[in-house]
Copies of this chain bind each other. A is one copy, B any other.
Amino acid sequence: MAHISEEQIAQWDLIDPLAEKREAFTLPANTVYLDGNSLGAMPTAAALRGKQVLEHQWANDLITSWNTHSWIDLPATVGEKIAPLIGAAPEQVICCDSTSINLFKVLASAMTLQKNRSQVLSLAGNFPTDLYMVEGLTALLGESHCHLKTVDEDTLEEALTSEVAVLMLTQVDFRTGRLLDMQRVTHLAHKQGILVIWDLAHSAGALPIALDECDVDFAVGCGYKYFNGGPGAPAFVYVAKRLQAHVSQPLKGWMGHKQPFAFAQGYEQADNITQYLCGTPNVVSMSVLDAALEVFADVNMQQIREKSEALSELFIALVEAEVALSDLVLVSPRATKDRGSQLAFEHEHAHGICQALIELGVIADFRAPNILRFGFTPLYLRYQDILTSVQILTQVIQQKVYLQAQYNKQNKVT
């Protein structure tokens, strides 16, 4: 690690404009957490809110809290907090259900708009649940009305033909961190009359997103990764305002009704983003996410992006400077602009290395068969943490600590 000194790294932390944001989080001692791309760390205010909702709102005010504590407004409240973070003007984002279920809603909406086309195009390397949800819709509509086609990244643009009904893409690849050009791809698709759905699971909260500016049709995303909303936090859905009067989603639960409390027998969908709600909102989890999003109130996504780039570039520089780490092969794009906020490396002992790192307090991530993932979350990581993690990584590989690692890591939620 010759050409970047420890003093230099300490200096970067000193002048980091986001440095004090770390204090908003409760973090475990002696741990470098490089897995915020799977599960964000806990904003202290999120736990306080959870406690308040349980012990005060639920326990004392019971059913009256739907009004007195505005529980009924939570899906919209949280949606409007997320909106500016993903480049959406108001009244286009709402918080509800899971990413998978929201994907089903927008997939079905989009297919209904595209009456004479049946192909859903995606990338073969997309996060599996996204592809599975298309299969589910196919099972209902039939192959002739909905079928999935997957292509590799290098043939994506040529696959954008007038046969495609819907293009469904994840902006940042969950394995490699590859970042797609949302503006370009959306534009190319629209030229062919294709509707576009973006899954923001690995990008929302990590980098600036401009849904409105890119003229995106639909988007979904996750509350528990870079938004730090807690394990299994509710997800969100975006539908462009210009489409809202024309779409219809099939999970017609009472909360999407124009007047849910009229208890009318027939469904009349809300004529705005509210129609994307289904059942009763999950108040406890949604409140926790609501409080977690406050961390973003006084930062902008450009600041976050700049630090994210700097952290990951530092990680790469330190790895490249260390001879012992020469067997680590970067599988993320080398150009910063083409990546989200994570790095992936191949190594034949990736699984054991990941286990050893966790035992030594560096929480990284393994993806079968041989990939090590490191996620960089600018709100609570220091430059110093990057140095520490590469030092420990070096120790693990140099001393072959991975041969003894015992940590059992069978099931892990991305």
| Cβ B409 vs Cβ A251 within 8 A | no
Q: What sequence of 0s and 1s flags, for each residue 36-47 of chain A, a beta carbon within 8 Å of any chain B beta carbon?
A: 001101100011
| Cβ B411 vs Cβ A66 within 8 A | yes
The B-contacting residues of A in range 95-150, CB under 8 angstroms, are: 97-101, 104, 108, 112, 124, 127-129, 131-133, 135-137, 139-141, 150
Surface stretch bound by B, among A208-216, A262-270, A342-350: A262-270
- A88 interface contact, C-beta 8 A: no
A341 to chain B, nearest CB (A): 16
Instruction: Using A100-B254, A136-B251 as known contacts, say yes or no to A284 and B231 having CB atoms under 8 A apart.
Output: yes
Name the one of B51, B63, B224, B249 contacting A363, with C-beta atoms under 8 angstroms: B63
- A33 interface contact, C-beta 8 A: yes
Surface stretch bound by B, among A4-12, A52-60, A176-184, A306-314: A52-60
The B-contacting residues of A in range 295-346, CB under 8 angstroms, are: none
| Cβ B250 vs Cβ A28 within 8 A | no
| Cβ B279 vs Cβ A108 within 8 A | no
Task: Give Cα distance in the complex from A281 to B283, angstroms.
Answer: 15
- A166 interface contact, C-beta 8 A: no
- A173 interface contact, C-beta 8 A: no
| Cβ A250 vs Cβ B124 within 8 A | no
Instruction: Using A54-B47, A250-B136, A252-B136 as known contacts, say yes or no to A284 and B230 having CB atoms under 8 A apart.
Output: yes
The B-contacting residues of A in range 235-267, CB under 8 angstroms, are: 235, 248-254, 257, 260-267
Q: What sequence of 0s and 1s flags, for each residue 365-409 of chain A, a beta carbon within 8 Å of any chain B beta carbon?
A: 101100000000000000000000000000000000000000011
Instruction: Using A51-B51, A288-B54 as known contacts, say yes or no to A232 and B67 having CB atoms under 8 A apart.
Output: no
- A65 interface contact, C-beta 8 A: yes
User: Chain B: which residue is nearest A412 at the CB level?
Assistant: B66
| Cβ A263 vs Cβ B128 within 8 A | yes
Q: Which residues of A contact B (CB under 8 A)?
A: 26-28, 31, 33, 35, 38-39, 41-42, 46-47, 50-51, 53-55, 57-67, 71-72, 97-101, 104, 108, 112, 124, 127-129, 131-133, 135-137, 139-141, 150, 224, 230-235, 248-254, 257, 260-267, 278-286, 288, 358, 363, 365, 367-368, 408-413
Question: Would you give 29 A-B contacts (Cβ < 8 Å), ordered by A?
Answer: A27-B59, A28-B59, A35-B63, A39-B63, A41-B59, A41-B62, A42-B54, A46-B54, A47-B54, A50-B54, A54-B230, A63-B363, A63-B412, A66-B411, A97-B279, A98-B278, A98-B279, A99-B279, A99-B280, A129-B279, A131-B266, A133-B251, A224-B280, A231-B280, A231-B282, A232-B286, A233-B284, A263-B368, A282-B285
